[in-house]
Amino acid sequence: MSEQEKNVQTQRNYRKVRTGYVVSDKMDKTVVVEVEDRRKHALYGKVMTRSKRIKAHDETNEVREGDLVRIMETRPLSATKHFRVVEVIEKAK
């Protein structure tokens, strides 16, 4: 294999990164993160806030409800879990 082919194989694909607040930590090694997305309406131009609840994997069970976390897309870990917690940005008060 040439050096170019080795570099192509080692590069990872683009992964979605989201930031949100933990709204539930009742499951084992899983947290529910509420992510807000601000979008402009196509016709009227009003800025609307959409929120989505995403299940994320927390390997160490250290994230608590109310924490601000950064999550990253990963391979499917279960039927509904496709993200993992990368870092805790701010602990809950």
Whether residue 82 is contained in a domain is answered as: yes
Please indicate, yes or no, if residue 6 is contained in any of the structural domains: no
* Angle CA 73–12–67, to nearest 5: 30
- 1 within some domain: no
Within-domain flag for 60? yes
Residue 61 domain boundaries: 14-90
Task: Let me know if residue 5 belongs to a domain.
Answer: no
Beta strands in the chain (DSSP E): 17-27, 30-40, 47-57, 68-73, 81-90
pTM: 0.81
pLDDT tens digits for 62-87?
Answer: 999 999 999 999 999 999 999 999 99
Q: Please check whether residue 7 lies inside any domain of the structure.
A: no
Question: Looking at residue 21, which CATH number applies to its domain?
Answer: 2.40.50.140
Whether residue 47 lies inside any domain: the answer is yes
Closest CA to 68 of 16, 23, 15: 23
Map residue 19 onto helix, strand or coil: strand
| Count of domains observed in the chain | 1
pLDDT digits (tens, 9 = 90+) for 12-46: 789 999 999 999 999 999 999 999 999 999 999 99
